[in-house]
Amino acid sequence: MSLQTKHLSVSYGTAPIIRDFSEPFKTGQVTALIGCNGAGKSTLFKAMAGLSPMKGHLLFAEHLLTAAEQRQHIAYMPQDTDATSSLTVLEVVLLGRLGKLGMRLPTSLVGEATTALQTFGLATLENRTLNEISGGQRQLVYLAQALFRTPKVLLLDEPTAALDLRHQLLVLDRVRTYARDSGACVAIALHDLTLAAQFSDRLIGLKDGLVVAAGTASDVLTQQNLQAMYGIKADISRGPSGKIQVTPLHAV
Amino acid sequence: MSSALNTSDALTEGAAQAAPAQLGYRQLIARRVFWLVAATATLAVLVVADILIGPAFLAGGDVLQALFLPSQASSMVRVIVHDIRLPMTLMAILVGISLGTAGVHMQTILGNPLASPYTLGFSAAAGFGAALAILTGITLPFAPWLTIPLAAFVMCAAAAALVFAFANIRGMSPEIMVLAGIATLFMFQSAQSMVQYLASPEVLQSIVFWLFGSLLKASWNNVPIVAACFVFASLIVLPNLWQLTALRLGDVRAASIGVDVKSLRIKLFAVVALLTASGVAFVGTIGFVGLVAPHIARMLVGEDQRILLPMSALTGAITMTGASVLSKLVSPGGVIPIGIVTALIGVPFLFFLILRGQRRHW
């Protein structure tokens, strides 16, 4: 079972951003989306989440998703962590289950939201407002919200961009655990290729809205593909765990 | 493998804090409900004061007798209390809650702390409509008392339609709505000035008095109309309180958790137009309440619209009734138009909250 895109295309005016994207996102697995700035990663995620117009189709378990089903089943976490809101951290997490919120909140629901915060070590911040916490903490709060929603498909746009090294590892490990435990399809846009290789089951490399390569880390993270996608030379090796490590050397 | 286990353990740290965390949320809600109760009590005190105080210098006992034992009160006192003071007080409350809620809706759907029915030209349009009706002297044959309010209401609705038409071309983005609103404000202000320029001194006096905003125009004819508009608007808004709360995360995040942002914005925009039009049509331009009441409410109870909305309504009502009381106290034997004193009531309290507050609220 998987989420499958079929000939998905997105344009801004006459400029094509994503072109004929047809790739599977398997359940229980993490798929990493890699590519340079402007490659189309965020646009692809927004289109898949039903937030921007697209051509083509999206199928889940061979069933064609309607726009409403896209919004219902696919959770998308944007990359920006700006906030001008004085919503509290707990309220933000609760909003993850928007459809279940009424005038009175069940104690069990608040308890679950609190637990979601504890999962990311944020329990002590629950009554702080978004304005009062750091960008990295906001990123963790939004991630807690996305997981609290328990979506069938989770699209994370650079979820580790504002995080320190420790929290990058914590978050990616949590996301991978969620995919495996819940059987959800998880896709993550990442710039750190070593982390992408370490935490994903499959990688898709984009350049100018086209798929350059897709497959396992060893299939995608090659000198040729990195030069095509990023215009760089890199040292590609295997670390102690056997996972691929990429060290950028210079631009070409 | 061991590293994965280690990271998982690290992520679940603090699990023992579950019970205190829930308690914290309950305490937060309790504090917000306290502010709601305190605001309701404050409004009750001001309502009593507003009914007791007036240029007729009636004794408190006589006023209470006219209220609760009307058959035993003198006809003069009964008329003053029932036909003048009560409608004025009720109108102050209704206009306050209408503008308070219109303001909080406007700031929420536009994501802009400066947005209000006044700053987006709705009040200016109402003023133009009223000024035009006064200048032309046209009256409705079946209800002359409704002529000026109806003209104000229609122009307010026209301003909303104008802003909507421009914004809709560009997908109802907040930036375009604000720009279109500001353009509308200047256009109707200019039209209003033109009408005033063309008016004779006597007509100009009437126009200026209307524009000041005064509760003296309140009556048992128009109070139910404003109340009905508010109830209708509330019925539209109440099922969307959590969606409105989510909108404060920004359009993309709100949409990503299931909010239909565009249709919500259109719906609330229509509600704001209705609330503003009904709020200002009968009493004139009240420019301050819709801007500041939501800010005061937000500082006290946060962004949860289940509590923010009633708190903003109460804050608006407190500002209006407080201004009504002050307008009578400042000038014993007379009543200063309420539009002149609303800012005098709200601004000091807003400054106090800004200086005292530790948190950023926008």
Place of tokens 């004025």: B88
* Closest by Cβ to B359, choosing from A76, A103, A129: A129
Q: Which residues from chain A sit within 8 angstroms of residue B250, using beta carbons? A: 82, 85
Q: How far apart are CA B336 and CA B84, in angstroms?
A: 15
* Res. B344 pLDDT band, cuts 50 70 90: confident
* Closest by Cβ to B258, choosing from A72, A85, A118: A72
Per domain, the residue ranges of chain B are 35-356
User: What domains lie within chain A, and their CATH numbers?
Assistant: 2-251 (3.40.50.300)
For the domain B35-356, what is the CATH superfamily, name and number? ABC transporter involved in vitamin B12 uptake, BtuC (1.10.3470.10)
Helix H, strand E, coil C: the string for B52-88 is: HCCCCCCCHHHHHHHHHCHHHCCHHHHHHHHHHHHHH
- A119: tokens are 């999962």
pLDDT of B20 over the 60 cut: no
Q: Which helix (H) or strand (E) holds B182?
A: helix B174-198
- B175: tokens are 């930036």
Residues of B with CB under 8 A from a CB of A: 3-4, 7-8, 10-15, 17-18, 21-22, 24-25, 28, 111, 241-243, 245-246, 248-250, 252-253, 255-259, 298, 302-304, 306, 359-362
Partners of A8 in the β-ladder: A21
Q: How far apart are CA B253 and CA A160, in angstroms?
A: 17
Q: How far apart are CA A25 and CA A41, in angstroms?
A: 14
* Closest by Cβ to A110, choosing from B13, B22, B255: B22
pLDDT at B21 (0 to 100)? 54
ipTM exceeds 0.85: yes
User: Are B11 and A119 an interchain contact pair (Cβ–Cβ within 8 Å)?
Assistant: yes
Average pLDDT over residues B102-130: 90
Average pLDDT over residues A7-27: 93
Which of B33, B257, B263 to mutate to test binding with chain A, by most A CBs within 10 Å of its CB? B257
Weakest mean pLDDT among A86-90, A144-148, B67-71, B331-335: B331-335
State the smallest CA–CA distance between residue A250 and chain B in angstroms. Answer: 31
State the smallest CA–CA distance between residue A41 and chain B in angstroms. Answer: 16
Closest CA in chain B for residue A120: B11
* Closest by Cβ to B303, choosing from A75, A87, A142: A87
- Specify whether the CB–CB gap between B156 and B274 falls below 8 A: no
pLDDT at B100 (0 to 100)? 96
* Closest by Cβ to A99, choosing from B24, B258, B360: B258
Closest CA in chain A for residue B303: A87
- A219: tokens are 């299939």
pLDDT at B362 (0 to 100)? 63
Q: Which helix (H) or strand (E) holds B160?
A: helix B147-169
Higher per-residue pLDDT: B171 or B275: B275
User: Are A132 and B248 an interchain contact pair (Cβ–Cβ within 8 Å)?
Assistant: no
A190: left (phi over 0), alpha (psi -120 to 50) or beta: beta
Which of A42, A66, A95 to mutate to test binding with chain B, by most B CBs within 10 Å of its CB? A95
* Res. B349 pLDDT band, cuts 50 70 90: confident
Give residue-wise pLDDT tens across range B151-208.
998 999 899 999 988 888 877 788 888 899 999 999 999 999 999 999 999 999 999 9
pLDDT at B1 (0 to 100)? 40
In A124-180, beta strands by DSSP E: 153-157
State the smallest CA–CA distance between residue A100 and chain B in angstroms. Answer: 10
pLDDT at B360 (0 to 100)? 62
- Specify whether the CB–CB gap between A45 and A189 falls below 8 A: yes
pLDDT at B5 (0 to 100)? 37
Torsion angle, alpha carbons of A98, A199, A220, A25, to 10: -30
pLDDT at B352 (0 to 100)? 79
pLDDT at B358 (0 to 100)? 55
Compute the mean pLDDT over every residue in chain A, rounded to the nearest whole number.
92
User: Are B248 and A177 an interchain contact pair (Cβ–Cβ within 8 Å)?
Assistant: no
Q: How far apart are CA B34 and CA A153, in angstroms?
A: 41
**HSE-up of B69 (CA within 13 Å, CB side)?**
7
